[in-house]
Structure 1
Amino acid sequence: MQNQFLFFFSALGGFNALLLSLYFAVQARKKNTSNYFLSALLFVLSIRIIKSVFFYFNPQLGNIFIQIGLSACILIGPFLFLYLKSSVKEKKVNWSIHFFSYLTLITTLGIVYPYVENRQIWVWIVWAIYAQWLAYIIVAYKFIHPILLKIKGKESLKKIDIWLLSIYLGVTIIWIAYYTANYTSYIVGALSFSFILYLIALLLIFRNNNEPAFFQEKEKYKNKLIPLETQEHIDLKLSIIADRELFVNPNFTLEDAAKELKVTKHILSQYLNEKLGKSFSNLINEYRIEKAKELLRNEKSHTVESIGYDSGFNSKSTFFTTFKKVTGLTPTEYQKNHSK
């Protein structure tokens, strides 16, 4: 009876992953292409999960099914990377290199060394696949790192931040489970069931609140034009933020800026995205970095950390990370290079 329950919940994890994969494939047609990568990621995960579950409870499972399940793993890492990259960056992602190269490789290996006749060779192939999966997890970390910095700096997270972090951690935990369970344990199926169930709950929560759906955020300004007179008004008034140094308030928000400029926050956000090619947080951080550079050059009696706070940053880590990203130097390095 216990094994039957384990089988049920483990298999349900793979089945739910298939359903979610279908959902995001449909969503992709309506929203943005990054959901195609998410759909593909969930699909290859479901294949691998279902193979593990059925193999554990039925060791006589057909060899071709085992080979397909193992082969699917070679695309989990690439699709995780592609999804995170396409969600974080607006640029088009060259997905064909990551997809066709590995698909061609694993297909060729499967033809030359079929699993049924070369099980010992497939032990090494599987090890190589899991090493490749781990490599993609490590490379994809750069897209998650800014979210972790927000958490460390006690900044509020957006819905998309929570979602991307959940996807990344879930796939990582599944990799750890497979790596430590010799690739066949039903425990991975149970973990996957919990992960997919969590994603479904998260999706329902985000879709049922009153805020714009996070899958639509990239297209929120589509078919909306800012009147010319409003653009000219913002052109003239935007400098108020810098001139009055409103940005040194660490709690200065888009809504605060919109009130100062006497426009709606949606109009201001759209203006910044379309006319300046940056978000409100990017603009404010640029102002803060310029202020910090001025203080680093002239205020020798202040600590670097205090200069960060005086410039409007609410944590040392956020200040150091943002400063290095914008200038290519740490605040300390900048101060040394520009000391008078």
Structure 2
Amino acid sequence: MTFGQQMLFFFSAVGAFNGLLLGIYLLFVKKLKYLPDFFLGLLLLMLSIRVGISVCIYFYPDWPRIIPHMGLSGLFFVGPALYYYIKSSFQQEMFDLKSCRKWFGILTLILGAVGLLYLVFPVTWNHYFGTFIYTVWSIFIILSVYQFYIFSKQNSKSSSPFVFPVLFSNVIIFLTYQLISTGWIQIYCAGGSLVFSFVLYINFLILFNKKYHQISTKEPNKYSNKKISGEQADSFSLKLERLMISEELYKNPNLKLGDLASRMNMPAHQLSQLLNDNLGKSFATYINEYRIDEACEKIESGSYLKIEEIGYEVGFNSKSTFFSTFKKIKNTTPLLYKQSQTVIEPEFQSSNL
């Protein structure tokens, strides 16, 4: 390769490489406490595989035929990953993971069947396989835009501020590859890879800008809070209680102050002030009291679940945290509490006799 080609290869491949690392990090390294991170990681991984293979095939066209097949197969899952990233970001704990797994299984079987035909009849299916992949991608891009529009129209709030940048970036990448594949724009295939690298780093800049803004405004917010009036605090408290009871948000083991504030349509620092100043509780204490109250109800009702299973059921993410929190709030252990209930019940029955 000439020096110019080497530079094109470098700039085309650097975005794919970094996207691949970030996708692997989100999928396999980072502890998944936030489901949309999984779909974002899958999206980046699949798109990076497609982009990376496109670059390699452009500069090294003698690679085996199976290599571009793998690139198109990766592209097949980009659309579904984007769709479920948007859906899970808005629906949060209401997201139907079981249905998502079913559809990913169906899509995998479809890809396997079509891919097998492509490998068995390469000449006949060479054009149709690519058309099939791009058609599926197009359908899911349209569904993703539609879902984002519906959620935005319903005034639903996403727990992630990066949903729109991710959607917008994928639409740009999609349009670029579509224009290249149709031949409407006569640019080399690595042009799509350059666009991917560009939008990836634009999103990095947006991420760091938001992080910097959050850090720069954190201290002023801390000291600029005005005390919430009694009437307003009562209204907020009633709304918070109704929200907790009706939607059982405390059962989400990864629930954060910011998530609850979003559901309350109020700033996180104001919710923190409401809890601390007006209710006299920290966020963790407030949530854990709901969890322990329901755990007690399950124990008293003679639940078939084991003690530790009850802890997981009500929102704790570990047995030790459940036991220590239970003892702190109820001044006893879950096991002793259960035993006390079994003792009280016969005594109550005998007194009625």
Shorter chain as denominator, the TM-score bin is 0.5 to 0.7
User: What is the one-letter code of the residue matched to 2:202?
Assistant: Y
User: What is the one-letter code of the residue matched to 1:5?
Assistant: M
Separation (CA, whole Å) in 2 of partners of 1:16 and 1:2: 22
Mapping of residues 101-250 of structure 1, within 5 Å: 101-114=106-119, 118-145=122-149, 160-161=160-161, 163-182=162-181, 185-210=189-214
Shift of 1:57: 1.0
- Of all paired residues, the percent bearing the same amino acid is 22
User: What is the one-letter code of the residue matched to 1:279?
Assistant: R
Counterpart contact for 2:240–2:264, Cα < 8 Å = no
Counterpart contact for 2:89–2:158, Cα < 8 Å = no
Separation (CA, whole Å) in 1 of partners of 2:138 and 2:8: 27
**C-alpha spacing 1:265/1:205, structure 2 compared with 1 (3 Å):** farther
Give the match for residue 20 of structure 1: 22
Mapping of residues 1-340 of structure 1, within 5 Å: 1-25=3-27, 29-90=31-92, 91=94, 92-93=96-97, 94-114=99-119, 118-145=122-149, 160-161=160-161, 163-182=162-181, 185-210=189-214, 258-259=228-229, 261=231, 263=233, 270-271=240-241, 273-275=243-245, 277=247, 279-281=263-265
Counterpart contact for 1:77–1:132, Cα < 8 Å = yes
Shift of 1:281: 4.3
**C-alpha spacing 1:266/1:191, structure 2 compared with 1 (3 Å):** farther
Counterpart contact for 2:32–2:38, Cα < 8 Å = no
Tell me the matched-pair count: 233
Separation (CA, whole Å) in 1 of partners of 2:149 and 2:230: 33
Separation (CA, whole Å) in 2 of partners of 1:166 and 1:177: 17
Moved more, 42-51 or 84-93: 84-93
- Larger CA Rg, structure 1 vs 2: 2
Question: Which consecutive unaligned segments of at least 5 residues does structure 2 have?
Answer: 183-187, 216-224, 248-261, 267-353
Shift of 1:12: 0.8
Task: Render the CA deviation track for 1:75-115: whole Å, top value 9, x for unaligned.
Answer: 11111111110110031332223311121222222233318
Separation (CA, whole Å) in 1 of partners of 2:149 and 2:172: 17
**C-alpha spacing 1:108/1:35, structure 2 compared with 1 (3 Å):** same
**C-alpha spacing 1:149/1:4, structure 2 compared with 1 (3 Å):** farther
User: What is the one-letter code of the residue matched to 2:165?
Assistant: S
**Secondary structure at the residue paired with 2:68?**
helix
TM-score with structure 2 length normalisation? 0.57
TM-score with structure 1 length normalisation? 0.59
CA RMSD of aligned residues (A): 3.5
**Secondary structure at the residue paired with 2:119?**
coil
**C-alpha spacing 1:271/1:202, structure 2 compared with 1 (3 Å):** farther
User: What is the one-letter code of the residue matched to 1:101?
Assistant: I
Counterpart contact for 1:51–1:65, Cα < 8 Å = yes
Counterpart contact for 1:28–1:36, Cα < 8 Å = no
Shift of 1:23: 2.7
